[in-house]
Homo-oligomer: A and B are copies of this chain.
């Protein structure tokens, strides 16, 4: 029986993305995906003298979204570190900026799971301004799983299972 977004509490389906095609390719049909939606408000400290949000803050918002994505999957990154000595280190981060975010804006962070392959975890993101839903930026991060000493290790089975569910597997 096919996976249905409606059956998964609080998740949005991939088709709600501003660029839903990001999850498909010519050789494979559009994949199912789960999108976490997290909201935050732009802080004064995040602005710069151009009168807009300084660009690295979008990557910090990606992290805020990623943490809430994991919480929605059923665990916390905090416990992953504390109880399993399992760290998700960033090895690649990219952001494309479409329109400026401004002080006090209500920001929507959409985080989705792109894949888990060869011990690399890929997340995708969209940053929008509410309520008009203007797309401000989109990006991706790639991560490896490490131990406390920053050495690569395998993702424990319980997390692998949770990620697999996020991909509708």
Report A's interface with B, CB cutoff 8 A. Answer: 43-45, 47-52, 54-57, 59-60, 63-64, 67, 76-78, 81, 87, 89-97, 100, 103-104, 150
Contact = CB atoms under 8 A, between A and B. Distances in A.
B94 A93 contact: yes
A48 B48 contact: yes
26 contacts: A43-B63, A44-B49, A44-B63, A44-B77, A45-B48, A45-B63, A47-B48, A47-B49, A49-B50, A49-B51, A49-B52, A49-B81, A50-B150, A55-B90, A67-B104, A76-B104, A78-B103, A78-B104, A89-B100, A91-B97, A92-B94, A92-B96, A93-B94, A93-B97, A94-B95, A100-B150
Contacts of A45: 48, 54, 56, 60, 63
Contacts of A92: 94-97
